Chain A
Amino acid sequence: MKTSYYIYLLGLAAIFDTSSSYAQNKETATKPKADTLTVQTVNVAFGAQTKKNMTSAVSFIDANTIKSNGLTNISQAMVGTLPGLMSSLSVGNTIAADSYSFLVRGKATNANTAPLIMVDNVERSIEYLDPNEIESISILKDASAQVMYGLRGANGVILVTTKRGAKNNSFIHIDTRTGVQSPEFWAPKLDAYQYATIYNEALTNDGRLPFFTAQELEGYQNNSNPYLYPNVNHQKELLRSYAPFHNYNFSAGGGDKTIRYFSSLGYLNQEGFFKHANVNDKYNTQNKFERFNFRTNLDVTIAEGFEAALDVNASISNNHSPWTFPNDILADIRNTPANAYPLFNEDGSLGGTTLYRNNLYGQIVNSGYRNEQARSLQTTLRLNKTLNFITQGLSANATYSIENFNPFVSGQSRTFAVYQLQPLVTPATYTAYGANSQLSSQGYSTSDYFRRNILNASLNYEYPKTGNHSLSAIVVYNQNRLQISGDDPDWKYQSISSRVSYGFKQKYFAEATAAYSGSSNFTAGNRMGFFPAFSAGWMVSSESFMKGIKAVNSLKIRGSVGEVGNDLISGGRYQYRQTSTASGGYGFGIPNGTSLGSTEGALGNSLISWEKAFKTNIGFDAQLFNQSVELTADYFHERRRDIAVAQSASVPGIIGISLPNENRGVVLNRGIDFSLQYKHSFNNLKLYTSLNGMFVKNKIIELGEQIQQYAYQYRKGNSLDARFGLVSNGIYQNAQDVANGSPSAYSALLPGDIRYVNQNPQDDNVIDARDRIVIGKGATPEIYFGLNIGGSYKAFDFSFLFQGAANRDIVFVPSQYSTAYYDYRWTPANAATATYPRVTAITSGHNNMQTSTFWQKDGSYLRFRNAELGYTFKNVLKLSSFRVYANGFNLATFSKLTDVDPESQSAGYTYAPLARTYTLGIKVKI
């Protein structure tokens, strides 16, 4: 099957005209000794600038980095590769649904912190983009770079640029890879005897009667009768340890004077970890994610100086699974005790009890199947006309773009019966729970449907390159309309923004940027805001006094200051007015009648507005030692004000109505980010390393907090993520110990329970919510870094990526029925060595399960994210290059935690595990 696919693709490739030769377009970038800063361009808001001219703080990665680090989507490629961009992983409910959320330079608000994402200058979702299509990614980090986006820019901007065809540079790439994925770990579970023992112990500890009889315990221990005394290793019985992975991409680009094209066709196939998926005749119940991608970017020169571009990007994905959601099955596998029921009874029927009616084998095999499909279509038409007849260097551009995203669920579902063996009855008798049904068709639209219409229009001016002065200017009009199903009315944005850049003698640079930008979320007269920024750069190395310093090839100092906004405040849209509803009637009359109703909405706040971020940035870019070292570092400082905070914290409840938020919050956020690159060639060995990192801290100045009894209860002065909890002080060892301690408001204390520090002994001797203080930094790291090492030796190439975070902590309260808890739980016998508290049958709210320093762990981690080894054959089969490679993704994670992922604590527990992926690939260039 796989081989035939290869041959098909190769055949397809052969049909294409391969006469025009492939030219390395990277060559310009690696040509030694040239002034690389004037050659390399970086995409910025609605344009591109050479590195030399840049005065704002922007991080940048190119296609090579994206391709080798983005296994299935481009988010993966942004992790650890871009200074100033912080990622956090969340695993999904199915195999391929892990995703990253990003922060540009940390957090400065308790409301929405997500960066604005733009693809080819229009707002887009990037979830379903194929990494093969991407040319570059820029991160706009300071006010100067963000201000073009006005009240949407404050959380930073991610600019994605897709590949385009170039004149006389045609190529065909075929990339095919296949491999396996394996789960990083599954949550460890107890066997039947251990479970029954600990359950009885929990009940006994609580002063209740044991549940499992001695006979049952013996049965579990001896495995004497697997039907009456089941001991099921669900993970072994139901989950496999690897799953296949396939990914194919075919792309071609090229063109001539009139038409240039880039086309890409991709297919991705990832399977999940269920066993027994092939049992049904007509359908498979494996969890399987498939995605098709198609993109064509077309450029047409209609006439001299008049160009049109048409970009079409389509993607179709399907997540196939049992009808029961895979994460529900995984959570159930995790939560079902080994002795709950036998998967199969002696007569072959499915096992179950009145409490456990969803036999796990049944959920995988007999619940039917589900297809979650998502279709995304993004099209853009762009017209560009030079207006040299008005003045030399002037051009106009108009862009219209539509994005349509349409998710849909279809499938067939059925129910199934489970049977419980009646003990001590012969012949064997079973009680049935539930019933077997036929498959029935299901289908529904999910609520994530959306459509986006965008219109951009701009005037660009480029001062002809003569003399000492350089000048460029742009004015952009933008309007953006987003329709989301169930979210009425539409989200609308409108702005006019402008940037003027000036350079003198390629030495002194200045840039002024401003936006007048509005959002439909606010009231008329209060919805448009003005956002200015100013930045400047000084090419120190071009000064004559630097001429003698050979080690320094270039050195530039930059600085910027400006104000940007964030309209996604907490409390939602339309807080400016009080509304009413014509609902909420009451059922009067016989029989149950109805009546009209009306309700008043939350009071209005006519002044409600966006958050304002005042940002300053100071940085430098240096090239040293014959350009083998490149260093960029920035210090940034942001004061975010007008953060929307709740009034309920300050207004007494006797007002009897919900209140709108008010713009009163202030948060400071500051830090540094840097990147350090080193390149060197030793004969045939070419080596590069790139280290990037960030240190960032925020501090709450005001967040409209409720008046607290004690100063230590305030979040003010701490960081947004600061964790509040109890301070643990060991474990109570005996009754005397308990008697001497402070009683807990959470549950009655016994030896083996966690002892906490009473923070307000002057007022009470009880451990309660008032004893919670700041105990940790929270999950957002203060230190975040990535390290990329790569190079080539003759025809071999290699690349490794590490990413890590530090100065963060997590709270993970393990299940009492986990192996670690079992081994180290407190009992009177092992009181001295126990590291976990006693077990209890109280499942929530118990003293021992409170957020506290007892369960808080250092959340620092280092991930070995990616490794790739390749070998390139030249001139084989008349191909311009033929590369074989091996790639490992998510290879290892190092942290102080065991059996839990430092970023996503539900991974392998109630959600899909993080997958390690090992692939082999062939990449052909024609």
Chain B
Amino acid sequence: MSAVEIRRTVVGHQDIGSRFSPGQFTLFFATPAIFPGHAARTASFPKKEGQLRMTSSAAVAHAQVRFGFGARPDQPAPTDPVAWLTGQLQRATPVPGPSLSDCLTPYATMINGGGNQRDACLRIRVSEADNLIWQAVTTDQPFYERLIRFFANHFGLQGQANYIAGCSVGAFVRDVLRKHLFGKYADMLTAAVTHPALVASLSNYKSMAPNSTRARRLRARGQDAGLNENLARETLELFSVGVGAGYAQADVTAMATLLAGFTVNLQTKPYGGVYDPTMAAGTGMSSVIGVSYPNNNLGCLQALQALGTSDYTYRRLARKLAVHFISDQPYIGDVNKIFVALRQSGGDIRQAVLALISLDSAWRPLTKVKDIQDYNISSMRAVGLVANPAVTPSLAMAKMGQPVLAPPFPNGWDDQTSTWSGPWSVMQRLAFANYVVGVGPTPAPDTLLENTVAPLLRSYTASTLPALLAASTPSDSVKTILTLPEFLRR
């Protein structure tokens, strides 16, 4: 039977026909029989202790996929999905790694006359990227890890931008994101914008106020010296208030003036972010969106606090969270609930996350598609892969069009379904499923299915799959499960 014939048959199929829509991803609402937990849709988030307990396997599987990266065979399934999620918001998970200064050492050595250290710099970048992926593959706190990855993408970390950025993106994840995930957004923003990873990738480290001591000295020698407004513009546009706030070029220039001086110390240990007052204006004020700040370190930090606590910022962050975890086009009302949680708590990220998981729509069927990184992570988890030097997961992701900590632009990776579901992207996932099954031990297909998406199967899959698996080798059965439509969703 040709593909076209099969399609015609299926369109006529009573079970599917009414919902089949070739032009777009169609979500089949599973019936209560195979998605018992969908009763959770109508239940509100626990108003009182113990009011709601979703214990069905479907609600658990749903939470593991929507908020994590799916199950691992060597980890016990949670019994209560809400308690499982909230339990991951109690404290930061310590993840060991080299200090920022150690990460920057090869590059500092190189520019201080210590010879070619390019390979050492590249090795740091690759190992940090791989470690971040292995952390997601093996963690028993996958919701926490998804949140870390959300913020890494929010700040658009571009490790490919230059050596300083490449060496410091891993330290950024530890020192900015893991440290501030359960704090105030404005504090995370301040730590992020002044960290070498962003200071370097958005080219602020040589930016100086035109009238600064250093700029005047350089100009006297006939060298270029002045502002670079890259970090300032993206701080306003991407990390805080957004273009909707209506700022003008003068605000961007003012922000760049305030940021001038935030650079990277590569001269004496410990290497890292530093404020160099000889690069700053020092005197005078700069006005950003109607508020004037003194042109110094303190003034810049005040501006970042103001930006980080703006309603515009809260609304953008609320929408991004909803787009990432819930839907390409979230309801305004849902965004508003997260926004209110941020506003009432002074930007407490934990409160925003609690609002997110308490949305009714968080417990409705999954409509988004895993991007390449999430797909690969969830496949590696499903087959129970552990960190293995023969596998370089970041390399696979780069090949497949989503290099780790290296999006092409500072707005990070696009979160929309259409971005990641073109023909080539789909075929790459099939190729990765083929690859990953060859890397580790092949799990028993029945167990794999039971552990992962069995409770989420639509009726068509549930009725079609058994005969196909019965007629396939164990290895092909595993690949089939890893490429089920339900497995591609999040």
A and B assemble together: no
